[in-house]
Structure 1
């Protein structure tokens, strides 16, 4: 039984890898897409920005609408749509069709995330939920960091079409795995929309939302310009940057496991300490950015902390609204994506105004804001009164 539950959790994570790989993997082949459709790279970038916008818009509402649906059926529906639209993208006659094929499944992206997190949490005891969810987050890390170099490599050794086919194949494999190995997951107690929306009346929920925005902004203000920082400040070659991305992803996967254990044992203390440790890494990256070997060591720790931030963000919202898990997971996906948008925009402003090295200060500002909201929650709401997911 234990092995069966573990297998289900890893299959859920693989499905998230497929979806995130579709979202982020496209970054590595944007120049080829621009060339294929005879458009500028900035226009091709709409495949990334509009996808993220659709996720942010749908995040609070689509999981709510699907909250009464059998969770296995919901996941199959989402993955099936991703497979179909990925295939359409391969044969798209023009950029408009390719863009539409990207944006449509993006609206259901939060549905899979919400259902997968809820299913993982419900498959184990309440005290083990953070650990199960941290394993699902492995799919996020793998899709974000490993998916980009893999897709770029496939395009380099074969073609753009084969690279895009990779997206469809991964999602199809996840679809088959869920179909065969994941049991039916009917919703035994369907909450009314009013009950779920009611969590928005709680000040605790909004404090948690603010924390998620600040923490994710703090992480992505710098990470979004990872390659540029390694190039302009550390003076790494393209091959070295790719290797650093893989290192970042590998340590991030390890970080998921550690984050699950720490959140299970002492979530509040973990959340409070996180901004201090992450801020220390940022300061070291700022002062040691010119040195290749120290930067490689720092990147390893950076990867661990990055996935810590994702795990803490998800826990912070779902523990604030445990009575509506599907809806609160949808809120996490929406506002985490909003944090990505805000952080990337502000980080870009710091780079254009002060230079690449100083993007670190954008991340530091958001981490300080995140620490303040974490402290606000822990000072107003005693840990013993905060239920876990």
Structure 2
């Protein structure tokens, strides 16, 4: 999950400048927009997590699939790109909050251990995302970085499905043993 988010997010300013043709001033405004919307998104994500952790994560993770498509469709249209950046800020800003909560929820009886794993794997995700993003920039160009997030987003959804299946299987087995 974190790899998906940070493969694109780490190169946000470079992407806007080179792939979307924005000057430094406009990129600064877009970073500001992203951040302001992100503050709102974190508040909303926190409330959503109290209701359903998995659904909240899936909702925000959908941005890894939606944003590359929207960026592609927006093309050179500056207004459309600004709207996409707003959506991007909303869906990406609560990434650590959502991912950490989801990972910690896997081990409710060992919260300290789960929290340390969530932090470690979050850092690993940032490292992998920025490394793979940088490699793609060097070999293909910055305009391809959102598609890395797309691929890792799909993989993250598959991992969520796998976790769900394993948890249901464990629940059935523990129900049979009682």
Normalised TM-score (structure 2) = 0.87
Distance apart, 1:289 and its partner CA: 4.2
Matches within 5 A, 1:90-105: none
> 2:103, 2:114 within 8 Å by CA — same for their partners in 1?
yes
Unaligned runs of 5+ in 2: 172-178
1:313 match: 99
Distance apart, 1:290 and its partner CA: 2.3
Q: Which structure has the bigger radius of gyration? A: 1
Distance in structure 2 (CA, Å) of the matches to 1:308 and 1:380: 26
1:333 match: 119
2:84 match: 298
2:174 match: none
Residues 1:365 and 2:151 aligned together: yes
CA RMSD, 1 decimal = 1.6
> 1:286, 1:360 within 8 Å by CA — same for their partners in 2?
no
Q: Of the candidates 6, 22, 25, which is equivalent to residue 236 of structure 1?
A: 22
Unaligned runs of 5+ in 1: 1-214
> 2:8, 2:148 within 8 Å by CA — same for their partners in 1?
yes
Distance in structure 2 (CA, Å) of the matches to 1:219 and 1:313: 11
Aligned pair in 2 of structure 1 residues 236, 347: CA closer, same or farther (>3 Å)? same
Q: Of the candidates 347, 352, 355, which is equivalent to residue 141 of structure 2?
A: 355
Distance apart, 1:335 and its partner CA: 1.1
Q: Of the candidates 43, 53, 58, which is equivalent to residue 272 of structure 1?
A: 58
Distance in structure 2 (CA, Å) of the matches to 1:224 and 1:374: 24
> 1:347, 1:362 within 8 Å by CA — same for their partners in 2?
yes
Distance apart, 1:277 and its partner CA: 3.9
Matches within 5 A, 1:1-389: 215-382=1-168
> 2:63, 2:92 within 8 Å by CA — same for their partners in 1?
no
Aligned pair in 2 of structure 1 residues 287, 279: CA closer, same or farther (>3 Å)? same
> 2:2, 2:129 within 8 Å by CA — same for their partners in 1?
yes
Distance in structure 2 (CA, Å) of the matches to 1:320 and 1:368: 20
Distance in structure 1 (CA, Å) of the matches to 2:40 and 2:75: 24
Distance in structure 2 (CA, Å) of the matches to 1:301 and 1:324: 35
> 2:19, 2:143 within 8 Å by CA — same for their partners in 1?
yes
Distance in structure 2 (CA, Å) of the matches to 1:251 and 1:273: 16
> 3-state DSSP class of the match of 2:58?
helix
> 1:268, 1:378 within 8 Å by CA — same for their partners in 2?
no
> 2:4, 2:64 within 8 Å by CA — same for their partners in 1?
no
Normalised TM-score (structure 1) = 0.42
